[in-house]
């Protein structure tokens, strides 16, 4: 059995050395990198060969990759690297790695074409000046072969270990049994659908009710499919920390019978041990000599196969390396990676990038996939506030004043003629975007000359500008560009505004990532209507759909519609007394723990004020704005078995999904809203775009997202087949047929 490794992965393993150092100017964007490669290769002669596919072996190691270019007239292989800033400031270990890659490609080319010697060139292309810097060495095939074999020898022990691990892992997964003996009702149906999708290489959308154990029902069959489908990795992606923990718990229940390597990825700001220090060896002790100590940390990490956040931190600190960057390294060697959506779906996603570079076969599970719509929109949106740029004037380095002032002038041209407070621009403001690109280039060049860093406000503006420019290059029908005028403050009457590149449909960005998987499973309790989520999330036309039968009986849940109450904005004050009466009556009928959901904090507080005044005996507690984690835990701790009271929360917030309060910990819920997004200029423009693209503007913008929140909130009540409870849907619109058809079939038919 051979072990496949990409040239880049081989050299990153064997040739990286010294400090972790992020001071060298930021890399060009992906599009700038592609354009730079194109520019360089276009300058070459007609016989120049581009993207030369090469492959070679050493013992049971198969090394493959694509060299950037080969000029047969010069007998010269070229490794092209784009950059910006001062090349002289490039750390030596970066250059060392680049030479290693070029020499490995050099031997593979000599072997493939029976060359006795070869000129090897590192071509550094400045994306700003468009100038090339060539570093050339002439090597004999014998020397290149010796270099190649040395790199392979450094890697071969690890590769052989990986082959043994892979064989043991696959054998264990073939024998893997369900940890609880029997599936719950509905759990088997979901597991079978996931297994079939994994084995046939299809993409699945699965709607399955809360409380059946969806996490284990998706992980177990995907793992069973790994050996037969020769999958390299399984990614379990979540929207929230609670989902990540459920996945880790499910994997922990399987690890005794399988030598799985499990890795939890967390955000950089949560993993950083020295947030007050910069990421380079002169500042952070965990960056100093990082690559020299990485091999030891990596070796211990694979002996501790369940790398959750605390275990990974323990290993990292024992070897004095950065926990965050150790986790990035271990993503290459883990079998299952559990992390946030952004690690695979974001524009700069680590897992997606590694999948492409290493040509992995991966399975992807997307937990609570209804959240991917809003999260996807956020990933592919960018915002600029002119006040942040004006605020730079006082501390701006002289060299940056002119490009910043040009941006401000062009910005003024954008909103000078704007009469409405909010306005969608008919097209991208090209002059402004060009000025913004120049600012990004200027700040990048300044960073190259001043690697110690910049003022935090300038750095924030820089990152925002880079993201805006990046998304402007990808602008299309899936997004809007709008300008919002801000009220004037102080003595100046100068206009202030916010420009936003606002993603409406993330599907064009998500679809290529879904396509790259062997099988992608989106699962949630609320994926109805199927077409809405398929259209907005980029699932292909040949997807498979399964609506898992609920294990719950209609008699377990009373669903009551308050048809005489309207929660529309204009009717809210008039609804307060009727809602308080309903809450008190239900509590008197059956004392216990309830959740009550409202459309806003203001509405919620109006109800609790009246309830407290009229029914002081009735215990209640409230979600508050900006509630911290300890306060959220205290809120949930009130829901004890046998406890009594009403917890008030905002629909769509922290307590309307992802919490589990089985038995008497929660016996009912009140939902005093349809959950419809606020009618405002932004949503109205999104409705127009949805209507243009799909012909269903109102439903796609308001109705479907709103009712998804309602069903999620109501789903907190029945968590097991023994639970019994009640849900009050408070609004006359819940009685309409078009609304009722979007509610779960098993509900005891709203009445």
Q: What domains can you pick out in the chain, each with its CATH number? A: 3-156 (3.90.320.10), 179-257+338-380+506-545 (3.40.50.300), 266-330 (no CATH), 383-504 (1.10.275), 554-740 (3.40.50.300)
pLDDT band at 513 (very low <50, low <70, confident <90, very high): very high
Could you tell me the CA-to-CA distances from 709 to 143, 207, 525, 675, 733 in Å, in that order? 65, 15, 11, 6, 15
Cβ contact 335:234 at 8 Å: yes
Could you tell me the CA-to-CA distances from 153 to 144, 716, 724 in Å, in that order? 14, 56, 64
Q: Average pLDDT for residues 141-154, to the nearest whole number?
A: 96
What percent of the chain shows pLDDT beyond 90?
76
Per residue in 468-491, pLDDT tens? 999 999 999 999 999 998 887 655
Whether the pLDDT of residue 241 is over 90: the answer is no
Q: Retrieve residue 396's tokens.
A: 């701006």
Cβ contact 365:237 at 8 Å: yes
Whether the pLDDT of residue 281 is over 60: the answer is yes
More confident residue, 237 or 88: 237
| Predicted local distance difference test score (pLDDT) of residue 419 | 81
More confident residue, 211 or 564: 564
Whether the pLDDT of residue 203 is over 50: the answer is yes
* Chain centroid to CA 14: 30
Compute the distance between CA of residue 669 and CA of residue 427 in angstroms, rounded to an integer: 46
Compute the distance between CA of residue 430 and CA of residue 472 in angstroms, rounded to an integer: 9
Q: Across the chain, what does the average pLDDT equal?
A: 92
In angstroms, the first-to-last Cα distance of the chain is: 64
Q: Average pLDDT for residues 339-344, to the nearest whole number?
A: 97
Task: Characterize the bridge pairing of strands 233-238 and 117-126.
Answer: unpaired
| Predicted local distance difference test score (pLDDT) of residue 206 | 97
Closest C-alpha to 97, from 5, 162, 28, 20: 20
Give the Cβ contact number of residue 158 at 10 Å.
Answer: 18
Give the Cβ contact number of residue 627 at 10 Å.
Answer: 18
Beta bridge partners of 337: 235, 263
pLDDT band at 27 (very low <50, low <70, confident <90, very high): low
* Chain centroid to CA 619: 39
Cβ contact 731:566 at 8 Å: yes
| Predicted local distance difference test score (pLDDT) of residue 471 | 94
pLDDT band at 751 (very low <50, low <70, confident <90, very high): very low
Whether the pLDDT of residue 415 is over 90: the answer is no
Beta bridge partners of 77: 70, 120
Whether the pLDDT of residue 28 is over 80: the answer is no
Whether the pLDDT of residue 26 is over 60: the answer is no
- Spatial neighbors of 186 by CB under 8 A, at least 6 apart, are 208, 209, 212, 548, 549, 550, 551
Q: Average pLDDT for residues 219-234, to the nearest whole number?
A: 96
Q: Retrieve residue 303's tokens.
A: 């002996």
Triad 414, 420, 421: Cα angle to 5° = 85
Compute the distance between CA of residue 614 and CA of residue 555 in angstroms, rounded to an integer: 33
Cβ contact 594:668 at 8 Å: yes
Give the least confident one: 181-195, 218-232, 531-545, 585-599.
181-195
Task: Characterize the bridge pairing of strands 262-264 and 132-140.
Answer: unpaired
Give the least confident one: 203-212, 487-496, 575-584.
487-496
Bond preceding residue 203 cis, omega within 30 of 0: no
Per residue in 641-694, pLDDT tens? 989 999 999 999 989 988 889 999 999 999 999 999 999 999 999 999 999 999
- Exposed, middle or buried by CB within 10 Å (0-12, 13-18, 19+), for 47? exposed
Could you tell me the CA-to-CA distances from 420 to 424, 503, 672 in Å, in that order? 10, 21, 33
| Predicted local distance difference test score (pLDDT) of residue 254 | 86
Beta bridge partners of 555: none
Rg (Cα) of the chain, in Å, rounded?
29
Helix (H) or strand (E) holding 339: strand 336-340
Buried b (16+ CB within 10 A) or exposed e, 124-152: bbbbbeeebeeeeeebebebbbebbeebb
Compute the distance between CA of residue 404 and CA of residue 407 in angstroms, rounded to an integer: 5
| Predicted local distance difference test score (pLDDT) of residue 414 | 86
Which pTM value belongs to this model?
A: 0.91
More confident residue, 43 or 448: 43
Whether the pLDDT of residue 179 is over 70: the answer is yes
Triad 365, 369, 371: Cα angle to 5° = 135
């Amino acid at each position: 059995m051979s072990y496949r490794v990409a040239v880049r992965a081989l050299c990153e393993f064997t040739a990286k050395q010294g400090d972790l150092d992020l001071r060298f100017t930021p890399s060009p964007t992906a599009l700038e990198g592609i354009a730079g490669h194109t520019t360089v290769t276009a300058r070459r002669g007609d016989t120049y060969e581009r993207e030369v596919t090469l492959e070679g072996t050493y013992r049971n190691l198969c090394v493959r990759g694509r060299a950037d270019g080969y000029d047969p007239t010069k007998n010269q292989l070229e490794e092209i690297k784009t950059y910006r800033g001062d090349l002289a400031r490039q750390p030596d270990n970066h250059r060392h790695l680049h030479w290693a890659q070029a020499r490995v490609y050099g031997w593979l080319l000599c072997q493939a074409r029976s060359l006795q010697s070869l000129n090897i060139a590192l071509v550094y292309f400045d994306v700003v000046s468009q100038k090339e810097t060539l570093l050339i060495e002439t090597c004999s095939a014998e020397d290149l072969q010796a270099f190649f074999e040395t790199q392979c020898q450094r890697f071969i022990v690890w590769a052989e270990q990986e082959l043994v691990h892979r064989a043991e892992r696959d054998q264990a997964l073939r024998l893997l049994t369900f940890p609880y003996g029997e599936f719950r009702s509905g759990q088997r149906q979901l597991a079978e659908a996931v297994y079939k999708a994994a084995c046939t290489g299809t993409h699945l959308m699965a709607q399955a009710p809360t409380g059946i154990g969806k996490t284990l029902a998706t992980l177990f069959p995907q793992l069973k499919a790994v050996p037969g489908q020769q999958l390299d990795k399984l990614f379990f992606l979540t929207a929230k920390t609670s989902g990540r923990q459920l996945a880790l718990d499910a994997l922990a229940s399987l690890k005794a019978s399988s030598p799985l390597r499990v890795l939890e990825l967390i955000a950089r700001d949560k993993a950083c041990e020295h947030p007050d220090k910069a990421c380079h060896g002169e500042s952070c002790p965990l960056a100093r000599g990082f690559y020299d100590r990485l091999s030891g940390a990596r070796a211990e990490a694979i002996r501790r196969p369940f790398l959750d956040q605390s275990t990974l931190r323990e290993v990292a600190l024992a070897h004095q390396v950065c926990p965050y960057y150790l986790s990035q390294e271990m993503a290459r060697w883990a079998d299952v990676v559990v992390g946030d959506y952004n690690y695979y779906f974001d524009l700069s996603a680590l897992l997606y990038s590694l999948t492409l570079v290493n040509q992995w076969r991966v399975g992807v599970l997307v937990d609570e996939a209804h959240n991917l719509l809003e999260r996807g929109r956020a990933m592919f949106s960018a915002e600029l506030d002119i006040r942040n740029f004006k605020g730079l004037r006082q501390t701006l380095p002289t060299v940056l004043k002119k490009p910043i002032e040009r941006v401000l002038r062009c910005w003024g041209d954008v909103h000078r003629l704007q009469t409405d407070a909010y306005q969608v621009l008919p097209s991208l403001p090209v002059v402004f975007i060009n000025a913004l690109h120049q600012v990004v280039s200027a700040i990048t060049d300044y960073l190259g000359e001043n690697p110690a860093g910049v003022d935090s406000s300038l750095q924030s503006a820089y990152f925002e500008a880079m993201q805006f420019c990046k998304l402007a290059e990808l602008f299309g029908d899936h997004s809007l560009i709008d300008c919002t005028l801000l009220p004037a403050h102080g003595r100046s009457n100068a206009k202030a505004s916010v420009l936003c590149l606002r993603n409406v449909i993330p599907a064009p960005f998500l679809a290529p990532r879904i396509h790259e998987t062997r099988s992608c499973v989106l699962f949630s309790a609320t994926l109805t209507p199927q077409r809405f989520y398929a259209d907005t999330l980029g699932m292909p036309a040949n997807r498979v759909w399964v609506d898992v039968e609920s294990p719950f009986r209609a008699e377990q849940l009373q669903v009551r519609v308050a048809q005489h109450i309207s929660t529309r904005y204009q009717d809210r004050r008039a609804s307060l007394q009727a809602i308080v009466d309903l809450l008190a009556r239900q509590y008197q009928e059956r004392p216990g723990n309830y959740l009550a959901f409202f459309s806003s904090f203001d509405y919620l507080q109006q109800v609790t004020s009246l309830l407290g005044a009229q029914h002081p005996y009735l215990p209640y507690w409230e979600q508050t704005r900006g509630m911290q984690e300890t306060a959220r835990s205290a809120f949930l701790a009130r829901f004890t078995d046998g406890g009594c009271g009403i917890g008030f929360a905002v629909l769509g917030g922290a307590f309307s999904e992802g919490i589990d309060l089985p038995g008497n910990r929660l016996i009912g819920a009140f939902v005093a809203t349809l959950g419809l997004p606020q009618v405002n200029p932004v949503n109205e423009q999104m409705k127009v775009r949805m209507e243009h693209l799909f012909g269903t503007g109102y439903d796609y913008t308001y109705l479907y997202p709103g009712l998804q929140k309602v069903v999620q909130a109501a789903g907190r009540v029945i968590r097991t087949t023994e639970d019994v409870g009640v849900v009050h849907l408070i609004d006359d619109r819940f009685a309409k047929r078009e609304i009722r058809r979007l509610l779960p079939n098993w509900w005891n038919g709203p009445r």
